[in-house]
Structure 1
Amino acid sequence: MSLKVDRDSMAFTFKGGMLPMTVMELSSADPERIREQLAGKLSQSPAFFQHTPVVLSVEKLDEPHLALERICAVCRAHKLLPVAVRGGPDPVKQSAWALGLGWFPPQESARARTLESVPTTGAEPEPVEEAMAVPEAGLPQGGRIFRGTVRSGQQITAPEGDLVVVGAVNAGAEVLAAGNVHVYGALRGRALAGIHGDTQAGIFCRELHAELLSVAGNYKRLEDIDPQLLGSSVQVVLSDDQLGITSLA
Protein backbone atom coordinates (compact mmCIF):
# COMPACT_ATOMS: atom_id res chain seq x y z
CA MET A 1 0.00 0.00 0.00
CA SER A 2 1.46 3.34 -0.99
CA LEU A 3 1.65 6.06 1.67
CA LYS A 4 2.09 8.76 -0.94
CA VAL A 5 -0.71 11.34 -0.82
CA ASP A 6 -1.96 13.15 -3.89
CA ARG A 7 -1.28 16.82 -3.07
CA ASP A 8 -4.27 17.90 -5.14
CA SER A 9 -6.57 16.00 -2.78
CA MET A 10 -5.08 17.51 0.40
CA ALA A 11 -7.25 19.98 2.29
CA PHE A 12 -4.36 21.41 4.32
CA THR A 13 -0.69 21.00 5.19
CA PHE A 14 1.16 21.69 8.43
CA LYS A 15 3.92 24.23 8.03
CA GLY A 16 6.62 25.47 10.35
CA GLY A 17 6.25 29.14 11.13
CA MET A 18 5.82 31.69 13.86
CA LEU A 19 3.01 34.14 14.43
CA PRO A 20 3.82 37.17 16.59
CA MET A 21 1.80 37.08 19.78
CA THR A 22 1.27 39.78 22.38
CA VAL A 23 1.07 38.78 26.04
CA MET A 24 -1.25 40.77 28.31
CA GLU A 25 0.17 40.16 31.77
CA LEU A 26 -2.49 40.63 34.43
CA SER A 27 -1.76 41.67 37.98
CA SER A 28 -5.46 42.30 38.71
CA ALA A 29 -8.40 39.99 38.03
CA ASP A 30 -10.97 42.79 38.37
CA PRO A 31 -12.66 43.20 34.96
CA GLU A 32 -13.64 46.80 35.75
CA ARG A 33 -10.06 47.83 36.51
CA ILE A 34 -8.93 46.18 33.31
CA ARG A 35 -11.72 47.93 31.40
CA GLU A 36 -10.71 51.31 32.79
CA GLN A 37 -7.06 50.93 31.82
CA LEU A 38 -7.83 49.55 28.37
CA ALA A 39 -10.15 52.48 27.69
CA GLY A 40 -7.30 54.85 28.50
CA LYS A 41 -4.88 52.96 26.29
CA LEU A 42 -7.36 52.84 23.44
CA SER A 43 -7.67 56.62 23.51
CA GLN A 44 -3.87 57.00 23.46
CA SER A 45 -3.00 54.40 20.81
CA PRO A 46 -6.10 53.47 18.79
CA ALA A 47 -4.01 52.05 15.93
CA PHE A 48 -2.55 49.32 18.12
CA PHE A 49 -5.95 48.00 19.17
CA GLN A 50 -6.98 46.60 15.79
CA HIS A 51 -8.24 43.13 16.69
CA THR A 52 -4.79 42.22 18.04
CA PRO A 53 -4.54 38.58 19.24
CA VAL A 54 -3.39 38.39 22.85
CA VAL A 55 -2.43 35.70 25.34
CA LEU A 56 -3.77 36.44 28.83
CA SER A 57 -1.02 35.70 31.34
CA VAL A 58 -2.44 35.01 34.81
CA GLU A 59 0.82 33.82 36.34
CA LYS A 60 0.98 36.75 38.78
CA LEU A 61 -2.53 36.12 40.08
CA ASP A 62 -3.14 33.97 43.13
CA GLU A 63 -6.78 33.17 42.46
CA PRO A 64 -8.05 29.66 41.64
CA HIS A 65 -11.21 31.00 40.01
CA LEU A 66 -11.23 33.95 37.61
CA ALA A 67 -14.03 35.81 35.89
CA LEU A 68 -12.31 34.75 32.68
CA GLU A 69 -15.36 35.11 30.47
CA ARG A 70 -15.89 38.71 31.66
CA ILE A 71 -12.21 39.56 31.19
CA CYS A 72 -12.33 38.22 27.64
CA ALA A 73 -15.48 40.24 26.94
CA VAL A 74 -13.74 43.41 28.17
CA CYS A 75 -10.80 42.71 25.86
CA ARG A 76 -13.02 42.11 22.84
CA ALA A 77 -14.95 45.31 23.55
CA HIS A 78 -11.63 47.16 23.23
CA LYS A 79 -10.58 45.43 19.98
CA LEU A 80 -8.31 42.83 21.55
CA LEU A 81 -8.84 39.15 20.74
CA PRO A 82 -7.94 36.70 23.52
CA VAL A 83 -6.73 33.46 21.96
CA ALA A 84 -5.16 31.67 24.93
CA VAL A 85 -4.37 31.82 28.63
CA ARG A 86 -0.94 31.28 30.15
CA GLY A 87 -0.55 29.94 33.67
CA GLY A 88 -3.07 29.43 36.43
CA PRO A 89 -4.28 26.31 38.27
CA ASP A 90 -6.42 23.56 36.78
CA PRO A 91 -9.77 25.42 37.16
CA VAL A 92 -8.36 28.27 35.07
CA LYS A 93 -7.18 25.80 32.45
CA GLN A 94 -10.60 24.17 32.32
CA SER A 95 -12.30 27.57 32.02
CA ALA A 96 -10.01 28.53 29.15
CA TRP A 97 -10.82 25.35 27.28
CA ALA A 98 -14.56 25.78 27.94
CA LEU A 99 -14.34 29.24 26.34
CA GLY A 100 -12.58 27.86 23.28
CA LEU A 101 -9.19 29.32 24.27
CA GLY A 102 -5.82 27.63 24.27
CA TRP A 103 -3.79 27.18 27.45
CA PHE A 104 -0.04 27.45 27.97
CA PRO A 105 1.87 26.36 31.07
CA PRO A 106 3.57 29.05 33.15
CA GLN A 107 6.70 30.53 31.66
CA GLU A 108 9.05 31.46 34.44
CA SER A 109 11.51 33.61 32.50
CA ALA A 110 9.42 34.67 29.54
CA ARG A 111 10.75 37.24 27.14
CA ALA A 112 7.42 37.34 25.34
CA ARG A 113 6.12 40.68 24.07
CA THR A 114 3.99 42.20 26.83
CA LEU A 115 1.15 44.54 26.03
CA GLU A 116 1.40 45.99 29.54
CA SER A 117 0.89 44.75 33.07
CA VAL A 118 -2.21 46.03 34.81
CA PRO A 119 -0.65 47.89 37.81
CA THR A 120 -1.78 47.28 41.38
CA THR A 121 -2.32 51.02 41.76
CA GLY A 122 -4.35 53.31 39.55
CA ALA A 123 -1.26 55.14 38.31
CA GLU A 124 0.12 54.64 34.85
CA PRO A 125 3.67 53.24 34.74
CA GLU A 126 6.29 55.74 33.71
CA PRO A 127 7.69 55.30 30.20
CA VAL A 128 11.19 53.92 29.90
CA GLU A 129 12.20 56.87 27.75
CA GLU A 130 10.38 60.03 26.90
CA ALA A 131 9.36 60.73 23.31
CA MET A 132 10.64 57.43 22.02
CA ALA A 133 8.61 57.48 18.80
CA VAL A 134 8.94 60.56 16.61
CA PRO A 135 6.92 60.73 13.37
CA GLU A 136 8.99 61.45 10.29
CA ALA A 137 7.70 63.12 7.15
CA GLY A 138 9.59 60.64 4.97
CA LEU A 139 8.05 57.53 6.51
CA PRO A 140 4.98 55.83 5.02
CA GLN A 141 1.60 56.40 6.65
CA GLY A 142 1.64 54.95 10.14
CA GLY A 143 5.44 54.54 10.20
CA ARG A 144 7.51 55.10 13.30
CA ILE A 145 11.08 56.04 14.13
CA PHE A 146 12.84 55.13 17.36
CA ARG A 147 16.04 56.92 18.37
CA GLY A 148 18.35 55.16 20.80
CA THR A 149 19.09 51.64 21.96
CA VAL A 150 16.26 49.14 22.31
CA ARG A 151 17.17 47.46 25.58
CA SER A 152 16.71 43.85 26.65
CA GLY A 153 13.08 43.14 27.52
CA GLN A 154 11.85 46.18 25.60
CA GLN A 155 9.49 46.01 22.61
CA ILE A 156 9.08 48.68 19.95
CA THR A 157 6.18 48.32 17.50
CA ALA A 158 4.94 50.04 14.36
CA PRO A 159 1.46 48.48 13.97
CA GLU A 160 0.58 50.26 10.72
CA GLY A 161 3.78 50.91 8.77
CA ASP A 162 7.57 50.73 8.74
CA LEU A 163 9.74 50.88 11.84
CA VAL A 164 13.11 52.66 11.74
CA VAL A 165 15.49 52.18 14.68
CA VAL A 166 18.31 54.72 14.73
CA GLY A 167 20.47 52.73 17.11
CA ALA A 168 21.07 49.18 18.26
CA VAL A 169 18.66 46.41 19.26
CA ASN A 170 20.08 44.54 22.23
CA ALA A 171 19.74 40.81 22.89
CA GLY A 172 16.37 40.08 24.47
CA ALA A 173 14.71 43.09 22.81
CA GLU A 174 12.07 42.95 20.07
CA VAL A 175 11.23 45.25 17.18
CA LEU A 176 8.06 44.65 15.14
CA ALA A 177 6.37 46.34 12.22
CA ALA A 178 3.43 45.86 9.91
CA GLY A 179 5.82 46.89 7.12
CA ASN A 180 9.61 46.93 6.95
CA VAL A 181 12.04 46.99 9.86
CA HIS A 182 15.18 49.13 9.45
CA VAL A 183 17.91 48.99 12.10
CA TYR A 184 20.75 51.50 11.71
CA GLY A 185 22.94 49.72 14.20
CA ALA A 186 23.63 46.24 15.58
CA LEU A 187 20.62 43.90 15.58
CA ARG A 188 21.10 41.37 18.40
CA GLY A 189 17.49 40.84 19.46
CA ARG A 190 14.40 39.75 17.55
CA ALA A 191 13.10 41.53 14.47
CA LEU A 192 9.68 40.80 12.97
CA ALA A 193 8.45 42.48 9.79
CA GLY A 194 5.08 42.05 8.08
CA ILE A 195 3.43 41.11 11.38
CA HIS A 196 -0.03 41.32 9.78
CA GLY A 197 0.96 39.06 6.89
CA ASP A 198 2.63 41.47 4.43
CA THR A 199 4.87 39.16 2.39
CA GLN A 200 6.49 42.14 0.65
CA ALA A 201 7.97 43.45 3.89
CA GLY A 202 11.62 43.04 4.77
CA ILE A 203 14.27 43.55 7.44
CA PHE A 204 17.33 45.71 6.84
CA CYS A 205 20.12 46.13 9.36
CA ARG A 206 23.64 47.48 9.53
CA GLU A 207 25.11 44.68 11.67
CA LEU A 208 23.46 41.27 11.92
CA HIS A 209 23.60 39.23 15.13
CA ALA A 210 19.87 38.58 15.44
CA GLU A 211 18.38 35.99 17.77
CA LEU A 212 15.42 35.65 15.42
CA LEU A 213 14.29 37.12 12.09
CA SER A 214 10.70 36.86 10.86
CA VAL A 215 8.81 38.13 7.82
CA ALA A 216 5.06 37.45 7.62
CA GLY A 217 5.38 34.58 10.11
CA ASN A 218 8.31 32.83 8.37
CA TYR A 219 11.36 32.85 10.57
CA LYS A 220 15.01 31.96 11.06
CA ARG A 221 16.88 31.68 14.33
CA LEU A 222 20.48 32.64 14.90
CA GLU A 223 21.67 29.07 14.45
CA ASP A 224 20.00 28.95 11.01
CA ILE A 225 21.83 32.01 9.68
CA ASP A 226 24.95 31.66 7.53
CA PRO A 227 27.85 32.54 9.87
CA GLN A 228 29.51 34.45 7.03
CA LEU A 229 26.64 36.96 7.17
CA LEU A 230 26.96 37.65 10.89
CA GLY A 231 28.28 41.10 11.65
CA SER A 232 27.53 42.42 8.17
CA SER A 233 24.87 44.69 6.68
CA VAL A 234 22.04 42.56 5.27
CA GLN A 235 18.54 42.56 3.89
CA VAL A 236 16.01 39.86 4.75
CA VAL A 237 13.16 39.26 2.31
CA LEU A 238 10.64 36.51 1.65
CA SER A 239 10.76 34.47 -1.55
CA ASP A 240 8.69 31.34 -2.17
CA ASP A 241 7.83 31.14 1.54
CA GLN A 242 11.53 31.08 2.43
CA LEU A 243 13.57 33.81 4.11
CA GLY A 244 16.48 34.95 2.03
CA ILE A 245 19.33 36.85 3.71
CA THR A 246 21.76 38.71 1.46
CA SER A 247 24.58 41.10 2.15
CA LEU A 248 24.18 44.80 1.46
CA ALA A 249 27.92 45.44 1.46
Structure 2
Amino acid sequence: MNAKMDTTDACDLRFGQVGIACVRVRRVDAAALCDELERRVRAAPQMFARAAVVLDLSHLLNLPDDGAVDALLEAVRSAGMLPVGLAYGTSETEALAKRMGLPLIAKFRAAYEPAQGSAPAAEPATRAEPAPAVQREPILSAPPPGSMQGAQHHAGSVRSGQQIYARERDLIVTGAVANGAEVIADGNIHIYGGLRGRAMAGAQGDGKARIFVSDFRAELVAIAGQYRVFEQIPDDLEGQSVQCWLEGDKLLIAKL
Protein backbone atom coordinates (compact mmCIF):
# COMPACT_ATOMS: atom_id res chain seq x y z
CA MET A 1 0.00 0.00 0.00
CA ASN A 2 1.34 3.39 -0.96
CA ALA A 3 2.03 5.86 1.84
CA LYS A 4 -0.46 8.69 2.00
CA MET A 5 1.02 11.97 0.76
CA ASP A 6 1.12 14.77 3.36
CA THR A 7 -0.51 17.84 1.77
CA THR A 8 -0.02 20.09 4.79
CA ASP A 9 1.81 23.34 3.95
CA ALA A 10 5.43 23.35 5.08
CA CYS A 11 5.07 26.76 6.76
CA ASP A 12 3.01 29.93 7.14
CA LEU A 13 4.46 33.30 6.10
CA ARG A 14 3.04 36.48 7.61
CA PHE A 15 4.05 40.11 7.77
CA GLY A 16 3.41 41.99 11.01
CA GLN A 17 4.79 44.46 13.50
CA VAL A 18 8.09 43.18 14.88
CA GLY A 19 10.18 43.97 17.94
CA ILE A 20 13.28 45.48 16.37
CA ALA A 21 15.39 48.22 17.93
CA CYS A 22 17.38 50.79 15.97
CA VAL A 23 21.08 51.56 16.42
CA ARG A 24 21.74 54.94 14.82
CA VAL A 25 25.49 55.20 14.14
CA ARG A 26 26.89 58.72 14.50
CA ARG A 27 30.59 57.92 13.91
CA VAL A 28 32.46 54.93 12.52
CA ASP A 29 34.11 53.67 15.70
CA ALA A 30 33.40 50.00 16.41
CA ALA A 31 35.06 50.01 19.85
CA ALA A 32 33.09 53.07 21.01
CA LEU A 33 29.88 51.57 19.63
CA CYS A 34 30.46 48.33 21.51
CA ASP A 35 31.16 50.21 24.76
CA GLU A 36 28.04 52.33 24.41
CA LEU A 37 25.76 49.39 23.61
CA GLU A 38 27.23 47.33 26.45
CA ARG A 39 26.31 50.18 28.79
CA ARG A 40 22.74 50.15 27.49
CA VAL A 41 22.49 46.37 27.91
CA ARG A 42 23.81 46.53 31.48
CA ALA A 43 21.35 49.32 32.34
CA ALA A 44 18.30 47.45 31.02
CA PRO A 45 19.11 43.80 30.26
CA GLN A 46 15.47 42.74 29.96
CA MET A 47 15.03 45.36 27.24
CA PHE A 48 18.27 45.10 25.28
CA ALA A 49 20.01 41.77 25.93
CA ARG A 50 19.79 39.75 22.68
CA ALA A 51 17.53 42.43 21.20
CA ALA A 52 17.14 42.35 17.43
CA VAL A 53 18.53 45.60 16.04
CA VAL A 54 18.77 47.41 12.72
CA LEU A 55 21.90 49.42 11.95
CA ASP A 56 21.13 52.95 10.72
CA LEU A 57 24.00 54.53 8.77
CA SER A 58 22.01 57.47 7.38
CA HIS A 59 23.47 60.04 9.79
CA LEU A 60 27.07 59.49 8.70
CA LEU A 61 28.65 61.98 6.31
CA ASN A 62 29.93 59.15 4.10
CA LEU A 63 28.77 55.56 3.87
CA PRO A 64 31.42 53.24 5.41
CA ASP A 65 33.08 50.56 3.32
CA ASP A 66 32.13 46.91 3.71
CA GLY A 67 34.95 46.16 6.16
CA ALA A 68 33.98 49.03 8.45
CA VAL A 69 30.34 47.94 8.41
CA ASP A 70 31.42 44.38 9.24
CA ALA A 71 33.28 45.77 12.26
CA LEU A 72 30.19 47.74 13.38
CA LEU A 73 28.00 44.64 13.07
CA GLU A 74 30.49 42.63 15.13
CA ALA A 75 30.50 45.42 17.74
CA VAL A 76 26.72 45.09 18.05
CA ARG A 77 27.04 41.32 18.51
CA SER A 78 29.84 41.69 21.06
CA ALA A 79 27.66 44.06 23.10
CA GLY A 80 24.99 41.37 23.40
CA MET A 81 22.57 42.48 20.68
CA LEU A 82 21.68 40.76 17.40
CA PRO A 83 21.93 42.79 14.16
CA VAL A 84 19.28 41.75 11.62
CA GLY A 85 19.55 44.34 8.84
CA LEU A 86 20.31 47.88 7.69
CA ALA A 87 17.91 50.80 7.89
CA TYR A 88 16.56 52.39 4.74
CA GLY A 89 18.80 55.08 3.26
CA THR A 90 20.14 55.75 -0.24
CA SER A 91 20.63 53.49 -3.23
CA GLU A 92 24.21 53.04 -1.98
CA THR A 93 22.84 51.72 1.31
CA GLU A 94 20.66 49.29 -0.62
CA ALA A 95 23.66 48.06 -2.59
CA LEU A 96 25.65 47.71 0.64
CA ALA A 97 22.86 45.66 2.21
CA LYS A 98 22.86 43.32 -0.79
CA ARG A 99 26.63 42.86 -0.61
CA MET A 100 26.44 42.16 3.12
CA GLY A 101 23.58 39.70 2.65
CA LEU A 102 21.35 41.74 4.94
CA PRO A 103 17.74 42.87 4.53
CA LEU A 104 16.96 46.57 4.14
CA ILE A 105 14.36 47.73 6.67
CA ALA A 106 12.44 50.70 5.31
CA LYS A 107 9.80 51.28 7.99
CA PHE A 108 12.18 53.06 10.38
CA ARG A 109 12.50 56.15 8.18
CA ALA A 110 9.48 57.98 9.65
CA ALA A 111 10.73 57.48 13.19
CA TYR A 112 14.03 59.20 12.34
CA GLU A 113 12.35 62.48 11.44
CA PRO A 114 10.01 63.28 14.36
CA ALA A 115 7.94 66.44 14.25
CA GLN A 116 9.01 68.99 16.81
CA GLY A 117 6.10 69.64 19.17
CA SER A 118 5.71 72.33 21.79
CA ALA A 119 4.50 71.75 25.34
CA PRO A 120 4.09 73.58 28.67
CA ALA A 121 7.20 74.08 30.76
CA ALA A 122 8.03 71.42 33.33
CA GLU A 123 11.01 69.78 34.93
CA PRO A 124 12.48 67.32 32.42
CA ALA A 125 13.32 63.73 33.07
CA THR A 126 16.88 62.82 32.18
CA ARG A 127 17.83 63.28 28.53
CA ALA A 128 15.84 60.99 26.31
CA GLU A 129 17.53 58.32 24.22
CA PRO A 130 16.67 57.26 20.65
CA ALA A 131 13.90 54.73 21.01
CA PRO A 132 13.76 51.13 20.03
CA ALA A 133 11.55 51.09 17.05
CA VAL A 134 8.65 49.10 18.42
CA GLN A 135 6.75 46.36 17.83
CA ARG A 136 5.80 42.77 18.08
CA GLU A 137 2.72 41.49 16.29
CA PRO A 138 -0.27 43.31 17.83
CA ILE A 139 -2.96 41.31 19.61
CA LEU A 140 -5.70 43.70 18.45
CA SER A 141 -6.61 44.50 14.87
CA ALA A 142 -5.57 47.92 13.54
CA PRO A 143 -7.35 50.13 11.00
CA PRO A 144 -5.86 50.67 7.54
CA PRO A 145 -3.43 53.56 7.01
CA GLY A 146 -4.98 56.99 6.59
CA SER A 147 -5.75 60.10 8.58
CA MET A 148 -5.84 59.89 12.39
CA GLN A 149 -9.10 58.24 13.41
CA GLY A 150 -11.16 57.95 16.58
CA ALA A 151 -9.45 56.42 19.58
CA GLN A 152 -9.04 52.66 19.94
CA HIS A 153 -10.28 51.38 23.31
CA HIS A 154 -8.99 48.42 25.30
CA ALA A 155 -11.17 47.46 28.25
CA GLY A 156 -9.37 45.81 31.16
CA SER A 157 -5.74 45.05 31.84
CA VAL A 158 -2.90 44.29 29.43
CA ARG A 159 -1.08 41.19 30.66
CA SER A 160 2.66 40.59 30.68
CA GLY A 161 3.85 39.59 27.20
CA GLN A 162 0.86 41.17 25.45
CA GLN A 163 0.92 44.20 23.18
CA ILE A 164 -1.75 46.63 22.04
CA TYR A 165 -1.02 48.72 18.94
CA ALA A 166 -3.37 51.51 17.80
CA ARG A 167 -2.42 52.39 14.23
CA GLU A 168 -3.23 55.92 12.99
CA ARG A 169 -5.16 56.71 16.17
CA ASP A 170 -5.02 57.32 19.92
CA LEU A 171 -5.18 54.44 22.40
CA ILE A 172 -7.26 54.39 25.58
CA VAL A 173 -6.64 51.62 28.12
CA THR A 174 -9.18 51.32 30.97
CA GLY A 175 -7.04 49.05 33.12
CA ALA A 176 -3.49 48.34 34.20
CA VAL A 177 -0.52 47.66 31.92
CA ALA A 178 1.54 44.91 33.57
CA ASN A 179 5.32 44.51 33.71
CA GLY A 180 6.47 43.13 30.35
CA ALA A 181 3.38 44.42 28.52
CA GLU A 182 3.47 47.10 25.80
CA VAL A 183 0.93 49.67 24.65
CA ILE A 184 1.77 51.52 21.43
CA ALA A 185 -0.08 54.18 19.44
CA ASP A 186 0.59 56.41 16.46
CA GLY A 187 -1.28 59.09 18.42
CA ASN A 188 -1.69 59.72 22.15
CA ILE A 189 -1.94 57.09 24.88
CA HIS A 190 -4.33 57.36 27.85
CA ILE A 191 -3.99 54.76 30.61
CA TYR A 192 -6.71 54.86 33.29
CA GLY A 193 -4.86 52.47 35.58
CA GLY A 194 -1.32 51.59 36.55
CA LEU A 195 1.49 51.57 33.98
CA ARG A 196 4.14 49.05 35.01
CA GLY A 197 5.14 48.02 31.50
CA ARG A 198 5.97 50.12 28.42
CA ALA A 199 4.05 52.90 26.68
CA MET A 200 5.15 54.25 23.27
CA ALA A 201 3.17 57.11 21.69
CA GLY A 202 3.76 58.84 18.35
CA ALA A 203 5.11 55.55 17.01
CA GLN A 204 5.28 56.82 13.42
CA GLY A 205 7.10 60.04 14.34
CA ASP A 206 4.41 62.38 15.72
CA GLY A 207 6.37 64.58 18.14
CA LYS A 208 3.15 66.19 19.42
CA ALA A 209 1.82 62.93 20.84
CA ARG A 210 1.49 62.59 24.62
CA ILE A 211 1.13 59.87 27.22
CA PHE A 212 -1.29 60.24 30.14
CA VAL A 213 -1.11 57.78 33.04
CA SER A 214 -3.20 57.55 36.23
CA ASP A 215 -0.63 55.51 38.21
CA PHE A 216 2.95 55.87 36.96
CA ARG A 217 5.31 52.93 37.60
CA ALA A 218 6.64 52.43 34.06
CA GLU A 219 9.49 50.31 32.72
CA LEU A 220 9.72 52.61 29.72
CA VAL A 221 7.93 55.52 28.09
CA ALA A 222 8.68 56.76 24.56
CA ILE A 223 7.38 59.43 22.21
CA ALA A 224 8.32 59.75 18.53
CA GLY A 225 11.68 58.05 18.75
CA GLN A 226 12.80 59.27 22.20
CA TYR A 227 12.56 57.09 25.28
CA ARG A 228 13.33 56.86 28.98
CA VAL A 229 14.00 53.54 30.74
CA PHE A 230 13.23 53.48 34.46
CA GLU A 231 15.32 51.23 36.66
CA GLN A 232 13.89 53.17 39.59
CA ILE A 233 10.96 55.59 39.43
CA PRO A 234 11.74 59.03 40.94
CA ASP A 235 9.99 59.46 44.29
CA ASP A 236 8.00 62.47 43.09
CA LEU A 237 6.57 60.50 40.14
CA GLU A 238 5.99 56.99 41.51
CA GLY A 239 2.29 56.20 41.71
CA GLN A 240 1.31 59.66 40.52
CA SER A 241 -0.95 60.78 37.68
CA VAL A 242 1.42 62.15 35.04
CA GLN A 243 1.68 63.29 31.45
CA CYS A 244 4.69 62.80 29.16
CA TRP A 245 5.60 64.83 26.08
CA LEU A 246 8.54 65.95 23.96
CA GLU A 247 10.20 69.32 23.99
CA GLY A 248 12.93 69.26 21.36
CA ASP A 249 14.88 66.06 22.06
CA LYS A 250 13.91 65.94 25.74
CA LEU A 251 11.14 63.75 27.09
CA LEU A 252 9.36 65.69 29.83
CA ILE A 253 7.28 64.16 32.61
CA ALA A 254 5.11 66.15 35.00
CA LYS A 255 2.39 65.37 37.51
CA LEU A 256 -1.14 66.17 36.41
Q: What is the TM-score with the length of structure 1 in the denominator?
A: 0.50
Which one has more relative contact order, counting CA pairs under 8 Å at least 6 apart? Answer: 2
Q: What is the TM-score with the length of structure 2 in the denominator?
A: 0.48
